[in-house]
Structure 1
Amino acid sequence: MMPPEQDTTAAAPTTPTSHPHPDVLIHAVPSATDTFSILRHSLFPLTLKFEDVSYTIKTHSTKTSGCLWRNHSQPNTTRTILNGVSGVVRPGELLAMLGTSGSGKTTLLTALAARLPGKISGAVTFNDKPFSSSIKRKIGFVSQDDVLYPHLTVLETLTYAAMLRLPKELSQDDKVAQAEIIIAELGLTRCRNSIIGGGLLRGISGGERKRVSIGHEMIVNPSLLFLDEPTSGLDSTTAQRIVATLRGLARGGRTLVMTIHQPSSRLYRMFDKVLVLSDGCPIYSGDAGLVMGYFESIGYVPPFNLMNPADFLLDLANGIAPDSAREDQVDHFHGGLDTQDDQNSIKHSLIALFRKNIYPEIKAEILAKTKISTVDSRMDSPQGRENQWTTSWWEQFRILLKRGLRERRHESYSGLRIFQVMSVSFLSGLLWWHSDPSHIQDQVGLIFFFSIFWGFFPLFNAIFAFPMERPMLNKERSSGMYRLSSYYMARTAGDLPMELVLPTIFVTVTYWMGGLKPSLLPFLLTLLSVLLNVLVSQGLGLALGAILMEVKQATTLASVTMLVFLLAGGYYIQHIPPFISWLKYASFSHYCYRVLVGIQYNVNEVYPCGFGVQRYCKVGDFPAVKCLGIGNPWGDVAALVLMLVGYRVLAFLALKMGQPH
């Protein structure tokens, strides 16, 4: 664990700072306050406007009776999460969204960033234009949870992000330099070579991890940056340093929008604008320095000893008013109503006063057109929209493959995994030690063990691939970092080395110890058949993981599937009833088993089968071989190849359908 952070950053000044005029184009020029200007293009100012944003979801209600839940057939009801939220944020401004837990802050932030599933009502515009792919590349989004690869270092994390997200016109050295500048700007120099960590893996501190998340989005020099509770779980000093950094980014000409739960008075003074939500409805939206004067003008005067305006605002959002509130603002405020009714009345009063006093001003500000400069208009020109991706497919594949190999090197080359395979290979080799060729039943058992072990092992390893990387995949795909096909191919190709090396070692050890055909060609054919079986099994695991995207459910389904394949493989049951015999044709283990038996035996071969008498029998008449029908190995290989392609295509389609649009 890295030692605790020593915050040497001075607190941001609390005196009012002049904001750049919204109609003036701001260029990212090299300066001490904005060193992100290594990008060879201008910083396009984006004015965010949102008017009457509302969002509802459908819920299914159930009735209760006593202590028992009784499900009754009732129509779906709708729940309003956001209701008529409006506001304007201009370049150079930092907007903080305040509100109680469940008030809709994160939902609103996600909706403004165009990442909310479903439809929202109202209008959200960027420089008076709707959301588009060109605008998407100018937006950064930092989620509340730091979604980062735990085994990569800080430098590796930001360097790979720069390689994927920066324009192809920049050289590799320029992209690496951009990552270095962001590391220096965010105060991450001393931990640049430390791993991120997470869970039980010790790494950098929480504040440093949050700054890495911010740096991950700052790689593209965004014009508009959304942050969901960037100070959550941090101490006051670290939180102040984070917000001071964000304030500096805003002063560089960016538009910043963040949610925050309960800021201190020092943090509050860094905000330019605040938006206060109560049960999804706005009760204030505007200048942070005028908020106390507004509520005092409508009769809600804060106590004289109140030092933190945020506490006062959160009390109002909860429907708790100070004793000095005028009674005429809330009917029977000090009357005989219960506490819940009092709070609801205060909330309704504040919402109504917002619609009366503040909403008309916001409406007029929204209707005022934002002047678009000729440089800014290039974002929506045909040249600006001609290519959705900043890098080519092959470049994305190469970078993602390299990143994946570095991230999973601890997993792929795990000593425990190698020990598991090697111990099983030597144990099985000893159990079948130089088995007699006349003991066909024993050798057939070893062959079946090959097919079933290398069906189970790769399947259960592959199940975890996509569910474990789902948060990172959703985050990076929402930012438009790469194509899904390049990620899929890089992810599957990165697993091949150990997926193929381990079975190769296993077969090499067990084949010769087990006394199978001592010839090179049968050995090579056996090895190739097992490797094909491994790839098919891995494809099925990827498909199950991509379809369910939940490890426990996928593991359960895989266990049932492999149990069926095991029973229908043709070894345990030689005479399956006709009405259920079709199951064996769905089992890749069955096809692999038939191919392996066909490699070892020819139906016209003979073997000694007498007891005390020199007698020979045909291998084709042996029950375990006869019921398989090993005369058509190419048909079995074709079935395995078809499954190999089919499972992997199914995995890709399931992954694509599960991606947010």
Structure 2
Amino acid sequence: MEQEMPMVDIEAQANKKTEIEAPAIFKKANRPVTLKFEDVVYMIKINKGGLLKKSKNSEEKMILKGITGMVQPGEVLAMLGPSGSGKTTLLTALGGRLGGRLAGTITYNGKPFSNAMKRNTGFVTQDDVLYPHLTVTETLVFTALLRLPNSLSKEEKVQHAEAVITQLGLTKCINSIIGGERLRGISGGERKRVSIGQEMLINPSLLFLDEPTSGLDSTTAQRIVSTLWELSNGGRTVVMTIHQPSSRLFYMFHKVLLLSEGNPLYFGRGSEAVDYFSSIGYSPMVVMNPADFLLDLANGVSSDDSHEDQNKIKQTLVSAYKINLADKLKVELQELRSSQYQDGLDDKQFGKWSTAWWQQFSVLFTRGVKERKHQSFSGLKIGQVLVVAVLSGLLWWQSDDAHLQDKIGLLFFESGFWGFFPLFQAIFTFPHERRMLEKERSSGMYRLSSYFMSTVVADLPMELILPTVFVVITYWMAGLKSSFVNFVQTLVVLLLSVLVSQGLGLAIGATIMDQKSATILGSVIMLTFLLAGGFYVQHVPSFIAWIKYISISNYTYKLLIGSQYKPSETYPCNSKGGFCLVGEFPAIKQVGLSGQAIAVVALVIMLVGYRLMAYVALMRIGVTKKVE
């Protein structure tokens, strides 16, 4: 039968391959870890009220129902079960990434999860969260620079990245970009190996993987699991969830945990699973993949034609586990004496961060520029700005002071256009980066402050260069004051407005974290600011006039007018003298040429305040708590 395939040949082949390919620095784990988990229970609250009907009473649902097991160095534990069985929840809990109502005991070499353990644990999520425009080498080198300690030089960190590339068989695609949904890049199997490589850089003692073979063909899946088997052979502890492995993969697992609706149905050697279920009256009627047989049982489907009720089968299997395996497993855990553990991980040996703040900022800034330059300076965005600039210059071509209303109309248009444009660019920043931020922050790669500052600074080239080009084109075509001082004042005011609008976009995006909702909210806010900007409505009712005091457009419009005109200047009019004071022009008088310093201070306060709001909003983003 297929399920009786011997493991000897597989082990021999894997050992042979490891001796040839694995670099010396990755042959053995630094500090082997024994993972024990006893009676792990996890509960969540479910609100029974809908969108229109809120209920004060919430129902608690038990996701994990007393899971017990143990994985030792050199072993691969595979957690099997249908969707909704609790595999990912248990994996997240074992990886120290699950909060909430988690009960039971999880120990690592007899100790609870600690900062030292976090620094020696790798966690590969089901979805490969990678930057699409970076190459394989860039992805792993940036990760090495962030995660490896300062006891290693930059050159040594790069060598570690190159060693991982060699070990995982990625040498053929080192200069290929990762790619994404609309960007052709490396294959799915290579992308998965890059994700594993990011965790292997720290030479982890404990490696968790969530569905590492999901979406891959059988050959690629075999290659991934073979790599993981080799890693465990070096004294690492490997724990993974897997949905429906082939028989070849199944026999590479040292231990198997079968779950059904949060209940354990089997824990033990994979090669003994079929024999166990046969001993309690459930055996396959035909030669089949053992994993398929186990998943059928977890779904309450028996191989015979008895048409037994599915719930009854599940209850029978749960009871059989408690009778035949549960007590025996707990005895095995108790027999594992503390003296059997390898040297423990001491928190005192590890600082909270691997690298200094400035190093984190530098690496994240460089990575951010490389990744976002394709979006920031895309032909579409540059073309959009150039077309609007030239069109504006033609519409206001050499406008003179005799048409003062037209000139101030151009200034208000500039304040509006450069309010919306950077706002919508910034709104997408953090929602787009959320998954990456959650992944890297949960691994302790960097401080939130270094990430935030690097992201803000990396966006400055696009935020400042494009409006500068816009002003250079429009200013001279529209015939605004030819004095260099007036030009610089106009440019500085517009750039300050751009930075404030960017800050508002960052704050909205970080608070909402949903691109569609954030866009709608940003549109409403900016339109409100435009309406209260002093151009469309000059006689605003007092009960709503307060909006202008928080309007970016209002302060920008005031400063742009001030950059062109002084109260004592005149313009051609129909009065007896033929000239009138600019300050008395109705549209300008409403906004006022005084209070320029106050407007600058207001924009600077907004510049800092909006970014502080964005930073505070990002602080609430922690580790992803996914329940399967």
Asked if the contact 2:76/2:254 (under 8 Å) is kept, the reply is: yes
Alignment deviations for residues 83-107 of structure 1 (CA, whole Å, 9 cap, x no partner): 0111000000000001111111111
> For residues 257-406 of structure 1, what are the structure 2 equivalents within 5 Å?
257-303=239-285, 305-323=286-304, 342-371=309-338, 376-377=343-344, 379-382=345-348, 384-385=349-350, 387-406=351-370
Distance 2:335 2:557 in 1: 73
Match of 2:580 among 613, 617, 620: 617
Alignment deviations for residues 371-424 of structure 1 (CA, whole Å, 9 cap, x no partner): 4689823x2252x14x11111110111011111111112112211111111111
Return closer, same or farther for 1:594/1:72 CA change in 2, 3 Å cut-off. closer
Asked if the contact 2:146/2:446 (under 8 Å) is kept, the reply is: yes
Q: For residue 520 of structure 2, what is the aligned residue in structure 1?
A: 556
Return closer, same or farther for 1:374/1:286 CA change in 2, 3 Å cut-off. closer
> Cα offset for 1:512?
1.3
Query: 3-state SS of the aligned residue for 1:642?
Result: helix
> Cα offset for 1:604?
1.9
Structure with the largest fraction of helix? 2
Query: 3-state SS of the aligned residue for 1:578?
Result: coil
Match of 2:609 among 641, 646, 656: 646
Query: 3-state SS of the aligned residue for 2:538?
Result: coil
Asked if the contact 1:128/1:369 (under 8 Å) is kept, the reply is: no
> Cα offset for 1:625?
1.1
**Residue 30 (structure 2) pairs with residue 43 (structure 1):** yes
Asked if the contact 2:148/2:354 (under 8 Å) is kept, the reply is: yes
Return closer, same or farther for 1:168/1:502 CA change in 2, 3 Å cut-off. same
> Cα offset for 1:38?
6.4
Distance 1:70 1:583 in 2: 32
Asked if the contact 2:34/2:341 (under 8 Å) is kept, the reply is: no
Query: 3-state SS of the aligned residue for 2:544?
Result: helix
Q: For residue 233 of structure 2, what is the aligned residue in structure 1?
A: 251
Return closer, same or farther for 1:33/1:414 CA change in 2, 3 Å cut-off. closer
Distance 2:241 2:412 in 1: 58
Q: For residue 15 of structure 2, what is the aligned residue in structure 1?
A: none
Return closer, same or farther for 1:12/1:607 CA change in 2, 3 Å cut-off. farther
TM-score, normalisation: structure 2: 0.94
> Cα offset for 1:33?
6.3
> For residues 63-74 of structure 1, what are the structure 2 equivalents within 5 Å?
71=53, 73=55
Distance 1:155 1:235 in 2: 25
**Partner AA of 1:48 in structure 2:** L
Match of 2:597 among 629, 634, 657: 634
Asked if the contact 1:437/1:516 (under 8 Å) is kept, the reply is: no
Distance 1:657 1:626 in 2: 45
Distance 2:544 2:291 in 1: 68
Asked if the contact 1:36/1:181 (under 8 Å) is kept, the reply is: no
Alignment deviations for residues 419-474 of structure 1 (CA, whole Å, 9 cap, x no partner): 11111111111111111123211111111111111111000000010111111111
Query: 3-state SS of the aligned residue for 1:657?
Result: coil
**Partner AA of 2:619 in structure 1:** K
Distance 2:404 2:340 in 1: 83
Distance 1:165 1:36 in 2: 20
Return closer, same or farther for 1:197/1:372 CA change in 2, 3 Å cut-off. farther
Asked if the contact 1:437/1:515 (under 8 Å) is kept, the reply is: no
**Partner AA of 1:322 in structure 2:** S
Asked if the contact 2:86/2:262 (under 8 Å) is kept, the reply is: yes
Q: For residue 538 of structure 2, what is the aligned residue in structure 1?
A: 574
Tell me the percent identity. 57
**Partner AA of 1:380 in structure 2:** D
Distance 1:373 1:533 in 2: 64
Match of 1:147 among 129, 146, 149: 129
Query: 3-state SS of the aligned residue for 2:313?
Result: helix
> For residues 89-108 of structure 1, what are the structure 2 equivalents within 5 Å?
89-108=71-90
Q: For residue 204 of structure 1, what is the aligned residue in structure 2?
A: 186
Query: 3-state SS of the aligned residue for 1:51?
Result: strand
**Partner AA of 2:184 in structure 1:** R
Match of 2:392 among 428, 438, 447: 428
Return closer, same or farther for 1:533/1:72 CA change in 2, 3 Å cut-off. closer
Alignment deviations for residues 588-644 of structure 1 (CA, whole Å, 9 cap, x no partner): 110111111112111122222128x65221111111111112211111000000000
More divergent stretch after superposition (365-374 vs 404-413)? 365-374
Query: 3-state SS of the aligned residue for 2:459?
Result: helix
> For residues 507-526 of structure 1, what are the structure 2 equivalents within 5 Å?
507-526=471-490
Query: 3-state SS of the aligned residue for 1:376?
Result: coil
**Residue 472 (structure 2) pairs with residue 472 (structure 1):** no
Asked if the contact 1:91/1:253 (under 8 Å) is kept, the reply is: yes
Q: For residue 467 of structure 2, what is the aligned residue in structure 1?
A: 503
**Residue 516 (structure 2) pairs with residue 535 (structure 1):** no
Distance 1:137 1:468 in 2: 26
**Partner AA of 1:200 in structure 2:** R
Match of 1:56 among 28, 43, 63: 43
Query: 3-state SS of the aligned residue for 2:507?
Result: helix
**Partner AA of 1:37 in structure 2:** I
Return closer, same or farther for 1:370/1:629 CA change in 2, 3 Å cut-off. farther
Paired residues in the alignment total: 615
Distance 2:337 2:568 in 1: 86
> Cα offset for 1:306?
2.1
**Partner AA of 2:560 in structure 1:** L
Asked if the contact 1:97/1:277 (under 8 Å) is kept, the reply is: yes
More divergent stretch after superposition (69-78 vs 433-442)? 69-78
Query: 3-state SS of the aligned residue for 1:453?
Result: helix
Structure 2: 5+ residue stretches without partners: 13-17
Return closer, same or farther for 1:62/1:391 CA change in 2, 3 Å cut-off. closer
Match of 2:197 among 211, 215, 218: 215
Distance 1:624 1:438 in 2: 14
> Cα offset for 1:321?
2.2
More divergent stretch after superposition (211-220 vs 73-82)? 73-82
Q: For residue 107 of structure 2, what is the aligned residue in structure 1?
A: 125
Asked if the contact 1:12/1:270 (under 8 Å) is kept, the reply is: no
CA RMSD of aligned residues (A): 2.2
Query: 3-state SS of the aligned residue for 1:120?
Result: strand
**Residue 43 (structure 2) pairs with residue 79 (structure 1):** no
Structure 1: 5+ residue stretches without partners: 1-10, 19-29, 64-68, 325-333
Alignment deviations for residues 124-155 of structure 1 (CA, whole Å, 9 cap, x no partner): 11111111111001111111111111111111
> Cα offset for 1:13?
5.1
Query: 3-state SS of the aligned residue for 2:397?
Result: coil
Distance 1:501 1:117 in 2: 44
Distance 1:408 1:311 in 2: 44
Q: For residue 411 of structure 2, what is the aligned residue in structure 1?
A: 447
Asked if the contact 2:36/2:107 (under 8 Å) is kept, the reply is: yes
Return closer, same or farther for 1:34/1:367 CA change in 2, 3 Å cut-off. farther
Asked if the contact 1:425/1:509 (under 8 Å) is kept, the reply is: yes
Alignment deviations for residues 241-300 of structure 1 (CA, whole Å, 9 cap, x no partner): 111111000001100001111111111110100000011100101111221222222222
> Cα offset for 1:346?
1.3
> Cα offset for 1:117?
3.7
